[in-house]
Amino acid sequence: MAATVVLSTFADAKDAYRSRDLRQSLYDEGEIVMADTLVNLHGDEHRARRRVENRLFRRETFELYERELFPAVTAATVAPYVVAGRVDLVPLGHELMLNLAALTAGVDRPDGTAAETARLYAYMMRFIEGATLAHSTQDRDAQRAVIAQALLDWDAEFLAPSIERRRALDPDDRPRDVLACLLEHEAELGITHAALRREVAFFLLAAAHTSATAFVRAIDHMLGWIGDHPEDADRAATDALFVQRCVHETVRLNPSSPTGRRRALAPVRLRSGTEIPEGATVVIDLLAVNRDPELFGPDAAGFDPGRAVPPGVAPFGLSFAAGMHVCIGQDLAAGVVPGSAVDPATHLFGLVTGAVQHLFAAGVRRDPEHAPERDANTARPYWGRYPVLLGGST
Protein backbone atom coordinates (compact mmCIF):
# COMPACT_ATOMS: atom_id res chain seq x y z
CA MET A 1 0.00 0.00 0.00
CA ALA A 2 1.27 3.46 -0.94
CA ALA A 3 2.36 5.71 1.88
CA THR A 4 0.35 8.74 2.96
CA VAL A 5 2.23 11.87 4.02
CA VAL A 6 0.25 14.56 5.83
CA LEU A 7 1.56 18.13 5.67
CA SER A 8 0.32 20.55 8.31
CA THR A 9 2.78 23.45 8.22
CA PHE A 10 2.49 26.47 5.95
CA ALA A 11 6.05 26.10 4.63
CA ASP A 12 5.65 22.41 3.74
CA ALA A 13 2.27 22.99 2.12
CA LYS A 14 3.53 25.85 -0.03
CA ASP A 15 6.59 23.83 -1.01
CA ALA A 16 4.41 20.88 -1.98
CA TYR A 17 2.08 23.00 -4.08
CA ARG A 18 5.09 24.24 -6.05
CA SER A 19 6.62 20.83 -6.67
CA ARG A 20 6.38 19.62 -10.28
CA ASP A 21 6.61 16.02 -9.10
CA LEU A 22 3.44 16.19 -7.01
CA ARG A 23 0.35 15.76 -9.16
CA GLN A 24 -3.18 16.91 -8.29
CA SER A 25 -5.27 14.00 -6.97
CA LEU A 26 -8.03 15.70 -4.99
CA TYR A 27 -10.65 14.96 -7.64
CA ASP A 28 -9.71 11.40 -8.61
CA GLU A 29 -13.03 10.11 -7.30
CA GLY A 30 -14.90 12.77 -9.26
CA GLU A 31 -13.45 12.07 -12.71
CA ILE A 32 -16.95 11.79 -14.17
CA VAL A 33 -16.84 15.60 -14.26
CA MET A 34 -13.24 16.49 -13.47
CA ALA A 35 -11.13 14.29 -15.79
CA ASP A 36 -8.95 16.36 -18.15
CA THR A 37 -10.07 19.67 -16.63
CA LEU A 38 -7.57 22.45 -15.98
CA VAL A 39 -7.34 21.67 -12.27
CA ASN A 40 -6.50 18.00 -12.99
CA LEU A 41 -4.03 18.37 -15.85
CA HIS A 42 -0.31 18.18 -15.21
CA GLY A 43 2.92 19.11 -16.94
CA ASP A 44 2.85 20.21 -20.58
CA GLU A 45 -0.90 19.67 -20.97
CA HIS A 46 -1.60 21.86 -17.96
CA ARG A 47 0.77 24.60 -19.12
CA ALA A 48 -0.82 24.69 -22.58
CA ARG A 49 -4.39 24.85 -21.23
CA ARG A 50 -3.49 27.40 -18.59
CA ARG A 51 -1.66 29.60 -21.08
CA VAL A 52 -4.75 29.72 -23.30
CA GLU A 53 -7.25 30.35 -20.48
CA ASN A 54 -5.07 32.91 -18.71
CA ARG A 55 -5.88 35.28 -21.57
CA LEU A 56 -9.40 35.55 -20.16
CA PHE A 57 -8.48 36.06 -16.53
CA ARG A 58 -6.96 39.52 -16.73
CA ARG A 59 -7.58 42.70 -14.81
CA GLU A 60 -9.71 44.31 -17.52
CA THR A 61 -12.04 41.30 -17.45
CA PHE A 62 -12.30 41.44 -13.68
CA GLU A 63 -13.06 45.16 -13.79
CA LEU A 64 -15.84 44.56 -16.33
CA TYR A 65 -17.49 41.96 -14.10
CA GLU A 66 -17.00 43.77 -10.79
CA ARG A 67 -17.92 47.30 -11.87
CA GLU A 68 -20.44 46.80 -14.66
CA LEU A 69 -21.94 43.31 -15.00
CA PHE A 70 -22.25 41.81 -11.54
CA PRO A 71 -23.70 44.71 -9.50
CA ALA A 72 -26.76 44.79 -11.75
CA VAL A 73 -27.09 41.00 -11.63
CA THR A 74 -26.84 41.04 -7.84
CA ALA A 75 -29.44 43.79 -7.45
CA ALA A 76 -31.90 42.09 -9.80
CA THR A 77 -31.44 38.68 -8.16
CA VAL A 78 -31.81 39.92 -4.58
CA ALA A 79 -34.66 42.41 -5.17
CA PRO A 80 -37.61 39.97 -5.01
CA TYR A 81 -36.28 38.45 -1.79
CA VAL A 82 -36.02 41.88 -0.20
CA VAL A 83 -39.68 42.38 -1.06
CA ALA A 84 -40.49 38.98 0.45
CA GLY A 85 -38.46 39.87 3.53
CA ARG A 86 -36.60 36.54 3.72
CA VAL A 87 -34.38 34.15 1.77
CA ASP A 88 -32.32 31.00 2.17
CA LEU A 89 -28.71 32.05 1.61
CA VAL A 90 -27.64 28.66 0.24
CA PRO A 91 -29.73 28.62 -2.97
CA LEU A 92 -29.39 32.42 -3.21
CA GLY A 93 -25.60 32.12 -3.26
CA HIS A 94 -25.73 29.55 -6.04
CA GLU A 95 -28.32 31.58 -7.95
CA LEU A 96 -26.15 34.69 -7.74
CA MET A 97 -22.93 32.98 -8.70
CA LEU A 98 -24.55 30.90 -11.45
CA ASN A 99 -25.07 34.13 -13.37
CA LEU A 100 -21.36 34.88 -13.11
CA ALA A 101 -20.37 31.30 -13.85
CA ALA A 102 -22.50 31.06 -17.00
CA LEU A 103 -20.94 34.26 -18.36
CA THR A 104 -17.41 33.11 -17.55
CA ALA A 105 -17.83 29.56 -18.81
CA GLY A 106 -19.72 30.54 -21.97
CA VAL A 107 -23.05 28.84 -21.33
CA ASP A 108 -25.78 30.81 -23.08
CA ARG A 109 -29.34 31.20 -21.86
CA PRO A 110 -31.11 32.50 -24.98
CA ASP A 111 -34.64 32.28 -23.55
CA GLY A 112 -33.72 34.31 -20.48
CA THR A 113 -36.55 32.73 -18.51
CA ALA A 114 -36.63 31.66 -14.88
CA ALA A 115 -37.43 28.11 -16.00
CA GLU A 116 -34.35 28.00 -18.23
CA THR A 117 -32.14 29.26 -15.39
CA ALA A 118 -33.68 26.69 -13.04
CA ARG A 119 -32.76 23.89 -15.47
CA LEU A 120 -29.19 25.16 -15.72
CA TYR A 121 -29.06 25.43 -11.93
CA ALA A 122 -30.16 21.80 -11.59
CA TYR A 123 -27.44 20.66 -13.99
CA MET A 124 -24.84 22.70 -12.12
CA MET A 125 -25.79 21.09 -8.81
CA ARG A 126 -25.32 17.66 -10.41
CA PHE A 127 -21.85 18.68 -11.58
CA ILE A 128 -21.01 19.83 -8.06
CA GLU A 129 -22.06 16.40 -6.79
CA GLY A 130 -19.69 14.86 -9.32
CA ALA A 131 -16.71 17.01 -8.40
CA THR A 132 -17.15 16.32 -4.68
CA LEU A 133 -18.06 12.64 -5.04
CA ALA A 134 -15.24 11.57 -2.71
CA HIS A 135 -17.10 13.24 0.17
CA SER A 136 -20.58 11.99 -0.70
CA THR A 137 -22.63 10.06 1.83
CA GLN A 138 -24.84 8.62 -0.94
CA ASP A 139 -24.50 5.58 -3.27
CA ARG A 140 -21.64 6.78 -5.47
CA ASP A 141 -22.18 4.39 -8.38
CA ALA A 142 -25.81 5.46 -8.64
CA GLN A 143 -24.70 9.09 -8.48
CA ARG A 144 -22.17 8.55 -11.27
CA ALA A 145 -24.86 7.21 -13.59
CA VAL A 146 -27.14 10.17 -12.89
CA ILE A 147 -24.31 12.69 -13.32
CA ALA A 148 -23.14 11.10 -16.59
CA GLN A 149 -26.62 11.43 -18.03
CA ALA A 150 -26.90 15.01 -16.74
CA LEU A 151 -23.71 15.91 -18.63
CA LEU A 152 -25.16 14.56 -21.87
CA ASP A 153 -28.51 16.26 -21.36
CA TRP A 154 -26.83 19.57 -20.49
CA ASP A 155 -24.63 19.28 -23.57
CA ALA A 156 -27.66 18.84 -25.82
CA GLU A 157 -29.68 21.64 -24.21
CA PHE A 158 -27.04 24.25 -23.41
CA LEU A 159 -23.51 23.45 -24.58
CA ALA A 160 -24.07 22.36 -28.18
CA PRO A 161 -26.20 25.44 -29.03
CA SER A 162 -23.62 27.68 -27.32
CA ILE A 163 -20.88 26.14 -29.47
CA GLU A 164 -22.97 26.57 -32.62
CA ARG A 165 -23.57 30.25 -31.88
CA ARG A 166 -19.85 30.92 -31.38
CA ARG A 167 -18.80 29.04 -34.51
CA ALA A 168 -21.24 31.16 -36.52
CA LEU A 169 -19.57 34.40 -35.37
CA ASP A 170 -16.41 35.99 -36.66
CA PRO A 171 -13.60 35.45 -34.12
CA ASP A 172 -13.52 39.16 -33.25
CA ASP A 173 -17.25 39.11 -32.43
CA ARG A 174 -17.20 36.10 -30.13
CA PRO A 175 -17.75 36.72 -26.40
CA ARG A 176 -14.81 36.59 -24.01
CA ASP A 177 -15.48 33.33 -22.22
CA VAL A 178 -13.89 29.92 -21.65
CA LEU A 179 -15.90 28.17 -24.37
CA ALA A 180 -14.99 30.69 -27.07
CA CYS A 181 -11.36 30.55 -25.98
CA LEU A 182 -11.25 26.74 -26.20
CA LEU A 183 -12.92 26.74 -29.61
CA GLU A 184 -10.41 29.26 -30.90
CA HIS A 185 -7.50 27.09 -29.73
CA GLU A 186 -9.16 23.69 -30.26
CA ALA A 187 -6.57 22.34 -32.72
CA GLU A 188 -3.63 23.74 -30.75
CA LEU A 189 -4.81 22.06 -27.55
CA GLY A 190 -5.97 18.85 -29.23
CA ILE A 191 -9.02 18.92 -26.99
CA THR A 192 -11.80 16.38 -27.63
CA HIS A 193 -15.48 17.29 -27.38
CA ALA A 194 -15.82 15.19 -24.20
CA ALA A 195 -12.89 17.04 -22.61
CA LEU A 196 -14.30 20.40 -23.74
CA ARG A 197 -17.65 19.43 -22.21
CA ARG A 198 -16.03 18.64 -18.88
CA GLU A 199 -13.90 21.82 -18.94
CA VAL A 200 -16.89 24.11 -19.48
CA ALA A 201 -18.89 22.17 -16.86
CA PHE A 202 -15.94 22.54 -14.46
CA PHE A 203 -15.82 26.31 -14.89
CA LEU A 204 -19.59 26.44 -14.43
CA LEU A 205 -19.47 24.53 -11.15
CA ALA A 206 -16.21 26.00 -9.85
CA ALA A 207 -17.11 29.64 -10.39
CA ALA A 208 -20.53 29.15 -8.86
CA HIS A 209 -19.90 26.66 -6.08
CA THR A 210 -16.74 27.96 -4.42
CA SER A 211 -17.96 31.56 -4.51
CA ALA A 212 -21.43 30.58 -3.30
CA THR A 213 -20.09 28.70 -0.28
CA ALA A 214 -17.76 31.61 0.55
CA PHE A 215 -20.73 33.99 0.25
CA VAL A 216 -22.80 32.06 2.82
CA ARG A 217 -19.92 31.46 5.17
CA ALA A 218 -18.81 35.10 5.08
CA ILE A 219 -22.29 36.31 6.02
CA ASP A 220 -22.42 33.74 8.83
CA HIS A 221 -19.05 34.86 10.24
CA MET A 222 -19.92 38.53 9.87
CA LEU A 223 -23.25 38.15 11.65
CA GLY A 224 -21.39 36.54 14.52
CA TRP A 225 -18.72 39.25 14.51
CA ILE A 226 -21.28 42.06 14.48
CA GLY A 227 -23.12 40.41 17.35
CA ASP A 228 -19.92 40.80 19.41
CA HIS A 229 -18.83 44.08 17.77
CA PRO A 230 -22.00 46.10 17.07
CA GLU A 231 -19.85 49.13 16.26
CA ASP A 232 -18.99 47.39 12.95
CA ALA A 233 -22.59 46.92 11.84
CA ASP A 234 -22.59 49.95 9.53
CA ARG A 235 -19.23 48.99 8.03
CA ALA A 236 -20.68 45.73 6.72
CA ALA A 237 -23.02 47.71 4.48
CA THR A 238 -20.78 50.63 3.53
CA ASP A 239 -17.09 49.72 3.81
CA ALA A 240 -16.02 47.43 0.95
CA LEU A 241 -12.49 47.06 2.31
CA PHE A 242 -13.82 45.83 5.66
CA VAL A 243 -16.09 43.35 3.85
CA GLN A 244 -13.20 42.12 1.69
CA ARG A 245 -11.14 41.49 4.82
CA CYS A 246 -14.07 39.53 6.23
CA VAL A 247 -14.23 37.47 3.02
CA HIS A 248 -10.49 36.78 3.15
CA GLU A 249 -10.71 35.75 6.81
CA THR A 250 -13.67 33.50 5.98
CA VAL A 251 -11.79 31.81 3.15
CA ARG A 252 -8.77 31.30 5.42
CA LEU A 253 -10.86 29.55 8.04
CA ASN A 254 -13.03 27.69 5.53
CA PRO A 255 -11.12 26.67 2.40
CA SER A 256 -13.39 25.27 -0.32
CA SER A 257 -11.83 21.89 0.37
CA PRO A 258 -10.42 21.33 3.88
CA THR A 259 -7.53 19.38 2.35
CA GLY A 260 -5.36 19.49 -0.72
CA ARG A 261 -4.24 16.19 -2.17
CA ARG A 262 -1.29 15.28 -4.39
CA ARG A 263 0.28 12.07 -5.69
CA ALA A 264 4.07 11.78 -5.88
CA LEU A 265 5.29 11.00 -9.42
CA ALA A 266 8.86 10.75 -8.12
CA PRO A 267 10.59 10.95 -4.73
CA VAL A 268 10.33 14.48 -3.35
CA ARG A 269 12.32 16.08 -0.55
CA LEU A 270 10.80 19.27 0.82
CA ARG A 271 13.03 22.08 2.02
CA SER A 272 12.11 21.22 5.62
CA GLY A 273 13.68 17.80 5.09
CA THR A 274 10.34 15.97 4.83
CA GLU A 275 10.74 12.97 2.51
CA ILE A 276 7.91 11.93 0.19
CA PRO A 277 8.42 8.57 -1.54
CA GLU A 278 7.33 7.97 -5.13
CA GLY A 279 3.70 6.86 -5.32
CA ALA A 280 2.82 8.39 -1.95
CA THR A 281 -0.38 10.29 -1.39
CA VAL A 282 0.25 13.76 0.02
CA VAL A 283 -2.53 15.25 2.11
CA ILE A 284 -2.25 18.98 2.75
CA ASP A 285 -4.18 19.78 5.92
CA LEU A 286 -5.39 23.27 5.01
CA LEU A 287 -7.35 23.70 8.22
CA ALA A 288 -4.12 23.28 10.19
CA VAL A 289 -1.99 25.24 7.72
CA ASN A 290 -4.35 28.21 7.65
CA ARG A 291 -4.62 28.27 11.45
CA ASP A 292 -0.92 28.16 12.21
CA PRO A 293 -0.50 30.40 15.29
CA GLU A 294 3.07 31.29 14.30
CA LEU A 295 1.73 33.03 11.18
CA PHE A 296 -1.80 34.04 12.13
CA GLY A 297 -1.46 34.69 15.85
CA PRO A 298 -2.49 32.87 19.03
CA ASP A 299 -6.17 33.30 18.12
CA ALA A 300 -5.64 31.84 14.62
CA ALA A 301 -8.71 29.59 14.94
CA GLY A 302 -10.98 32.61 15.45
CA PHE A 303 -12.50 35.09 13.02
CA ASP A 304 -10.90 38.55 13.05
CA PRO A 305 -11.14 40.79 9.96
CA GLY A 306 -8.47 43.06 11.42
CA ARG A 307 -5.90 40.27 11.62
CA ALA A 308 -2.35 41.19 10.57
CA VAL A 309 -0.29 38.63 8.67
CA PRO A 310 3.48 38.47 8.01
CA PRO A 311 4.90 39.65 4.67
CA GLY A 312 4.60 37.00 1.97
CA VAL A 313 1.56 35.35 3.59
CA ALA A 314 -1.84 35.97 2.02
CA PRO A 315 -4.67 36.87 4.42
CA PHE A 316 -6.61 33.84 3.11
CA GLY A 317 -3.68 31.48 3.73
CA LEU A 318 -3.30 28.77 1.09
CA SER A 319 -7.02 28.34 0.41
CA PHE A 320 -6.47 29.22 -3.26
CA ALA A 321 -3.45 26.85 -3.40
CA ALA A 322 -0.11 28.00 -4.84
CA GLY A 323 2.26 27.22 -7.65
CA MET A 324 1.04 25.89 -10.98
CA HIS A 325 -2.46 25.15 -9.71
CA VAL A 326 -3.13 28.43 -7.92
CA CYS A 327 -6.82 29.23 -8.51
CA ILE A 328 -7.19 30.95 -11.89
CA GLY A 329 -10.22 32.94 -10.66
CA GLN A 330 -8.78 34.02 -7.31
CA ASP A 331 -8.77 37.76 -8.03
CA LEU A 332 -12.19 37.63 -9.67
CA ALA A 333 -13.80 36.03 -6.63
CA ALA A 334 -11.82 37.50 -3.73
CA GLY A 335 -10.26 40.59 -5.29
CA VAL A 336 -6.69 41.80 -5.05
CA VAL A 337 -5.02 41.58 -1.65
CA PRO A 338 -5.03 45.17 -0.34
CA GLY A 339 -1.74 46.92 0.34
CA SER A 340 -0.99 49.65 2.84
CA ALA A 341 -2.98 52.19 0.80
CA VAL A 342 -6.14 51.40 -1.14
CA ASP A 343 -7.84 53.62 -3.69
CA PRO A 344 -11.51 52.49 -3.73
CA ALA A 345 -11.88 53.85 -7.27
CA THR A 346 -9.33 51.41 -8.69
CA HIS A 347 -9.05 48.57 -6.17
CA LEU A 348 -10.59 45.21 -7.05
CA PHE A 349 -12.58 43.96 -4.05
CA GLY A 350 -13.88 40.75 -5.68
CA LEU A 351 -17.35 39.58 -6.61
CA VAL A 352 -17.98 37.78 -3.32
CA THR A 353 -17.28 41.03 -1.47
CA GLY A 354 -19.79 42.90 -3.63
CA ALA A 355 -22.50 40.30 -3.11
CA VAL A 356 -21.96 40.09 0.66
CA GLN A 357 -21.98 43.88 1.05
CA HIS A 358 -25.21 44.06 -0.97
CA LEU A 359 -26.89 41.65 1.45
CA PHE A 360 -25.85 43.69 4.48
CA ALA A 361 -27.10 46.84 2.76
CA ALA A 362 -30.39 44.94 2.34
CA GLY A 363 -30.57 44.35 6.10
CA VAL A 364 -29.58 40.68 6.28
CA ARG A 365 -29.95 39.13 9.73
CA ARG A 366 -30.55 35.69 11.20
CA ASP A 367 -34.08 34.32 11.25
CA PRO A 368 -34.84 33.69 14.95
CA GLU A 369 -37.49 31.09 14.08
CA HIS A 370 -35.45 29.04 11.60
CA ALA A 371 -31.91 27.97 12.49
CA PRO A 372 -29.36 27.17 9.76
CA GLU A 373 -28.58 23.50 9.12
CA ARG A 374 -25.53 21.67 7.79
CA ASP A 375 -25.74 19.67 4.54
CA ALA A 376 -26.19 16.01 5.49
CA ASN A 377 -25.41 14.74 1.96
CA THR A 378 -21.68 15.43 2.17
CA ALA A 379 -18.90 15.07 4.70
CA ARG A 380 -17.65 18.53 3.72
CA PRO A 381 -18.69 21.30 6.14
CA TYR A 382 -21.27 22.97 3.88
CA TRP A 383 -24.44 24.71 4.95
CA GLY A 384 -27.56 22.91 3.70
CA ARG A 385 -29.99 25.66 4.71
CA TYR A 386 -29.36 29.16 6.01
CA PRO A 387 -32.62 31.12 6.36
CA VAL A 388 -32.26 34.87 6.95
CA LEU A 389 -34.49 37.92 7.12
CA LEU A 390 -34.05 40.94 4.85
CA GLY A 391 -35.21 44.55 4.93
CA GLY A 392 -36.96 46.24 7.82
CA SER A 393 -35.13 46.68 11.09
CA THR A 394 -33.68 44.35 13.64
Q: Spell out the per-residue pLDDT of the chain, length 394, in tens.
A: 679 999 999 999 999 999 999 999 888 888 889 989 998 889 999 999 999 998 888 888 889 889 988 899 899 999 999 999 999 999 999 889 888 889 889 999 999 888 998 999 999 989 988 888 777 777 888 889 999 999 999 999 999 999 999 999 998 898 889 999 999 999 999 999 999 999 999 999 888 888 999 999 999 999 999 999 999 999 999 999 999 999 999 999 999 889 999 999 999 999 999 999 999 999 999 999 999 999 999 999 999 999 999 998 999 999 999 988 888 889 989 999 998 788 988 999 999 999 999 999 999 999 999 999 998 777 677 889 999 999 975 4
In a domain, 226, yes or no: yes
Residue 335: which region, alpha, beta or left (left: phi > 0; alpha: psi -120 to 50)? left
- When divided into structural domains, the chain yields a total of 1
> Rounded to two decimals, what is the model's pTM?
0.90
Under 8 Å between Cβ of 134 and 29:
yes
In a domain, 201, yes or no: yes
Under 8 Å between Cβ of 348 and 62:
yes
In a domain, 289, yes or no: yes
Domain of residue 381: give its range. 4-389
In a domain, 394, yes or no: no
Q: Which of 212, 222, 250 is nearest to 355 (CA)?
A: 212
In a domain, 98, yes or no: yes
What is the C-alpha to C-alpha distance for residues 62 and 43, in angstroms, rounded to an integer?
A: 27
Report the greatest alpha carbon distance in the chain. 61
CATH number, domain containing residue 143: 1.10.630.10
Backbone phi and psi for residue 389, each to the nearest 5 degrees, phi listed first: -100, 150
